[in-house]
Structure 1
Amino acid sequence: MSIYKYWGFGLDILSEIPFPELSPVTSFEQAHVNIRMGEMPEIPDGFTFSTGSISYTMNDHELLFTVRDVGKYYVKDGDTIIIRPDHAGIEMRLLRLFVLAAAMAGILQQRRIIPMHTGSLLIDSKLTLIAGRSGAGKSTTLAGLMNKQYRIFSDDIVVLANGADHQMHGIASYPMIKLWEQSMQAFEYEDRSFPIMPGMEKYGLFFHDDFDTRAYPINRVILLKLSDDGRFTTERLSGGNAFEAVVEHIYKPSFFNSPDMRVLKFKTITQLLQNTEVYQIARPANCAPDELLSRVTALI
């Protein structure tokens, strides 16, 4: 059996299956996370909930989730992921997608680490995070920034970590940016060789050669949203307004709702905001990608 070694989300990962999305490494002393195929253990007790086609059961140190027509995933103690496909013919790309999403979010939650659902740029050795709910323009903005030769640090997830300087740092997840067809067309990207999942017009663009595994201090957060009045506005947020706006972009927020996790969220986001400027850009529902891009670049 082949064994594959990767780095991702700030962790050394040992896997029975290949992950072209992750950054390969030649060696490490001991893996932080082991990924393998196998049978699903039972979780005797836990909190159960569903989101769309995924049902979850979790307790303090275990997560079991089922993706309809894809498979089951078991995550334990922040170091183990077990996968059981629904059937032998399942497309591996689809199976991996949920490892890189909910399963790794479970690993981080069990390790008491907060992931943010945000893209990021590396500018002068500091990070600018760019976040927004679906439809707000994050993917289009990242595509435009990449087109203008800004350095993309991480596309969809940034892991928060305390720095030795007591400032909150960000760690990249993996070297792939995911773009919708609309963004691909707007900025004339032609590589559609890696569709994210069957039937979805969203594609992965790799940047392994430029991927940086170091942690960098975060000094700026830009939040995108649709405006209520059809106009562009840019506002700097502070205090409780900044906290409430930023905490909404924690990745897989339903994983961080226990009393202990709420304390962790409060401490982590509070520390992040101590040295970070937070801006909110509201944009019209229909606007040219370049117009939104110019609003973002004006802040960076």
Structure 2
Amino acid sequence: MLIFIKCFATISIMKLGEVRAIMDNGLLDKKLYSAYGLRLASEIELPELWDEIDGEPDVIIELADLSGFVSGWSEDQLEHAEHDEVVIRVPDVAVYRVVGNHLIQMMPEKGADPREYRLYILGACCAIILIRRGMVPLHASGVVIDGKAYAILGDCGAGKSTLGTAFRHAGYQLLSDDIVGIRFNESNNSLTAYPGYPQQKLWKQSMDYFELETANYDSILESYDKYAVPVRDQFAREPVLLSGIFELEKADIPQIMMKPMKPLERIQLIRYHSFLDKLLKEMKMEQWLFAIAAKIALSVPFYQLKRPIHGFTAPDLVKKIINTVTEGEVVLL
């Protein structure tokens, strides 16, 4: 889900000429990348993504003077959707404009950290593109087990990335760290999960547990105790059939608990964990989300997985999930 910074600082708007002048190090002649099953042609450097050699781009990412789109906004307005475009303002970071299912424009603020404005390009902006292309962007990690994909949904801090790392250490491929794009296939009522990009974001506590030296990795933001961990050697680059969804929660319990979820609970879960749940209302796509959530709810098994608040349980959670999906536990759809 999209969470914007609540406090607001006065925005220092830059004209396009100024934008390009100060971004020489990050400005490219539309280099080709891939993420979420799409080819992205970007003049903004995106080192987190896979490079692509050739092919027609699905999405263009470019710098633009967007000052005219936000000049009349009040100080507390952060987004606006109208017709086929969405404009987002992130204080102290950038203004973004997403048009249809093919164009992302960005105007960074003076002094903005490239790591931070890239997060919004690869998160919120790409999530809008996915929705416009008929996919549900779930706030989830994704893993591949025996050639099938499983999405692990959860709130920020639930432990999705840590659990994904535990799966990697157990020899499984990661499909995504933060957003899993889901497409419902009308022809056979199946679901396809699309890979994100080969990077995880891990808190220092998880880094320490997995014996990853923080000195060898960059923090995702300045003075932030969370680190970018490349995972290109254990990442699934192609779409995979989705075979199950797990909701991960922290709870004041002594041990791991898991139970299957009922259909109505599943619909509510999909709506809650769609990456842009609050923006969908402005995009007038709430009914679309409800309809697609109902189809997803009846397509694969869903489980609620609770872990204790205290202690490090990621390896045990991996075993629990593996046992569940390999033993073929019967769950009413």
Do they superpose with TM above 0.5?
Answer: yes
Q: Please say if residues 143 and 173 of structure 2, whose CA atoms lie closer than 8 Å, have aligned partners that are also in contact.
A: yes
Q: Which residue of 1 aligns with 2:171?
A: 149
TM alignment of 1:31-180, pairs within 5 A: 31-40=57-66, 42-43=68-69, 55-87=78-110, 89-163=111-185, 165-180=188-203
2:46 pairs with 1:23? no
Letter in 2 for 1:154: S
Q: Please say if residues 6 and 22 of structure 1, whose CA atoms lie closer than 8 Å, have aligned partners that are also in contact.
A: yes
Q: Please say if residues 10 and 171 of structure 1, whose CA atoms lie closer than 8 Å, have aligned partners that are also in contact.
A: yes
Q: Which residue of 1 aligns with 2:21?
A: none
Q: Which residue of 1 aligns with 2:17?
A: none
Q: Using the TM superposition, give the Cα deviation of residue 43 of structure 1 relative to its aligned residue in structure 2, in angstroms.
A: 4.6
2:302 pairs with 1:278? yes
Q: Which segments of 5 or more consecutive residues in structure 2 lack a partner in the other structure? A: 1-27, 326-333
After TM superposition, the structure 1 stretch with the greater mean CA deviation from structure 2, 97-106 or 208-217, is 208-217
Distance 1:217 1:268 in 2: 17
Q: Which residue of 2 aligns with 1:298?
A: 323
Distance 1:259 1:14 in 2: 25
Distance 2:189 2:67 in 1: 40
Q: What is the aligned counterpart of 1:223 among 244, 247, 251?
A: 247
Change (3 A) 1:67 1:258: closer
Distance 1:168 1:22 in 2: 24
Distance 1:225 1:48 in 2: 37
Q: Using the TM superposition, give the Cα deviation of residue 166 of structure 1 relative to its aligned residue in structure 2, in angstroms.
A: 3.0
Distance 1:292 1:210 in 2: 19
2:289 pairs with 1:265? yes
Distance 2:181 2:263 in 1: 22
Q: Please say if residues 116 and 250 of structure 1, whose CA atoms lie closer than 8 Å, have aligned partners that are also in contact.
A: yes
Distance 1:229 1:141 in 2: 18
Q: Using the TM superposition, give the Cα deviation of residue 169 of structure 1 relative to its aligned residue in structure 2, in angstroms.
A: 0.8
Q: Aligned to 1:252, what secondary structure does the other structure show?
A: coil
Q: Aligned to 2:29, what secondary structure does the other structure show?
A: coil
Q: Which segments of 5 or more consecutive residues in structure 1 lack a partner in the other structure? A: none
Q: Aligned to 2:121, what secondary structure does the other structure show?
A: helix
Letter in 2 for 1:6: Y
Aligned-CA RMSD value: 2.6
Q: Please say if residues 160 and 177 of structure 2, whose CA atoms lie closer than 8 Å, have aligned partners that are also in contact.
A: no
Q: Please say if residues 124 and 275 of structure 2, whose CA atoms lie closer than 8 Å, have aligned partners that are also in contact.
A: no
Distance 1:170 1:144 in 2: 20
Q: How does the TM-score come out when normalised to structure 2? A: 0.80
Q: Aligned to 2:218, what secondary structure does the other structure show?
A: coil
Q: Please say if residues 167 and 271 of structure 1, whose CA atoms lie closer than 8 Å, have aligned partners that are also in contact.
A: no
Alignment size in residue pairs:
294
2:266 pairs with 1:242? yes
Q: Aligned to 1:16, what secondary structure does the other structure show?
A: strand
What percentage of aligned pairs have identical amino acids?
Answer: 26
The Cα offsets for residues 85-142 of structure 1, whole Å up to 9 and x where unpaired, read as 111x433222211111111122223334311111111122211111111232222211
Distance 2:170 2:316 in 1: 14
Change (3 A) 1:213 1:251: same
Change (3 A) 1:211 1:108: same
